[in-house]
Structure 1
Amino acid sequence: MLKILSLNVWGGRLHAPLLRYLGECDADILCLQEVTRTHRSPEVGSAAETSSWLVYRDDGIELSQRSDLFSEIAAVLPGHDGLFMPAARGVLWDGDQAVMSEFGLATFIRKSLPLLGQAQGFVHGAFSANGWGEHPRARNAHVFRVHDYAADFTLTVAQMHGLRDPAGKGDTPERAAQAEALIRLIGQVRPAGERLVVCGDFNVLPDSATLAALARLGLADLVTGRGHTDTRTSWYRKPGRFADYMLVSDTVAVTQFDVVAEPEVSDHRALELLFA
């Protein structure tokens, strides 16, 4: 059996319970969105001169962020190899001091699962090195293949953090293009017919064109398909409770799937899949 976890970690705002959960969840593969990393160097404004907590400010919104969440997660997962893939680098604040920090995806793979191939690329926009950019901001995805020695099969996994549109989660031309870009990225890595799991915070509704496009790959969504109606926690206070999805090919034998309500470690719920 293999266990995959997908979670938008919210920049580590619920830091202590998040790290405890990730360290104890015993997932073989962790697909994480909204991960922060700030390089430690002697440069002015570097993490070496800042606290562990920084603040994201945008259009009247202020959110606490861990300065180097990627390294903190890696520390509680010593049996995994970690990959960090930034979508952008922009300013977080340590009081009145501006600190350049990266924001993006992280994938952690148990060291006993050999990494056979991968592709990482942008499904919307392009990397922004000196600012977060205008909405809808750049988004990337990670597709990779691993082999399970115990069960003797190879698996392709894809994760994406879908673009956020201030107008809402409805279908847009940008989201349609994003879905097609993800499908092309999967095609670069996955041999035809191989087991496939696609997951992440897609930022779309259950009847979206994004899920319809992924269905062309023979994928079925476990969140809506198994009757779950909420992928957000009590920390999320807006209407519209869907954001996160996990889709599988019919060659994935699902043993257990859960949209985790407790513990609350983000404003998103974790998705946990146990399968063969």
Structure 2
Amino acid sequence: METEDGLELLSGVLMFFFLTIALPAFLLYGLGAASEQANLVKYFFYGVLGFSPLLVNFATVFLENRGFFEKHPSLKGFQYITFHSPEQTPLGQKFPKLVQAKVMIPLFIVIALFFGMLVSVSGTFSVGTPDLVTGSISPGAELGLAVEPAVSAETFFFNVGMLLGQIGFIYLFLFSRGVSPRWSYIWSHVLSWILTSIEFLFYHSFRYGTQETSQASVFLLGLITNGFTALTHSIIPAYLIHGSGNFFDKASEAGIFTSDVAVLIAVVGTLISGVVLVHFLFKELGGE
């Protein structure tokens, strides 16, 4: 296994274990909320939801390292099922230093904070924050469970499994009918971006089916997160933006902090992340 592939798989496994399994398990069991059967059902649901794309990624890395996709070019679209492989994209090939994880993380923290602040300040923009826990728990724990395990599980399922998986099927369909690899790549990404965003909306509409504002907001969130994933072949943008939206939405809804505090958090976080971003940008562009 190549080093980059190994790091990608390790990162995916660790993210799944800590964010989808360990952290919510600690909050649920530590606070006694796990005694409610409804809470456990939701917890296991998110675990299953996030685990399936992890298995698929193991398979794609296994096949890629054995030259399977070079031998079967029509199946090349399935090679794109990844957690972080921006080198697969035109953006990554043109700006390889700017799509490294150490640059993307602070950049998208800034974007995510702005998005979260918009959710909090607008008062009408809803991102479909899940209600994981039935029963009375502390506001802080409720805030944590509004972010995890839903954000990581849905990021794995929709932004990796559905978006990139459908890219593979659409690429196969187009390539098999004589469409060039370049246009198969473009159209598979555009069509899958739209389809997955609609599927993301349908998934959330079970809760927000009668709220038109929420439906529009959730669809917009799907377009944003799936769009960034299609452009970068990385879950970093989707996870940070989705997580920030849930965090600020739940905090405002529960009265944990006001819109003014949300703006302050966003500004301070942007300044700190901006310093880190500028440091790595200068470092990478300087050729160090």
TM-score by length of 2: 0.29
* Larger radius of gyration between Structure 1 and Structure 2: 2
TM-score by length of 1: 0.30
**Higher strand share goes to which structure?**
1
**Greater relative contact order (Cα 8 A, min sep 6): structure 1 or 2?**
2
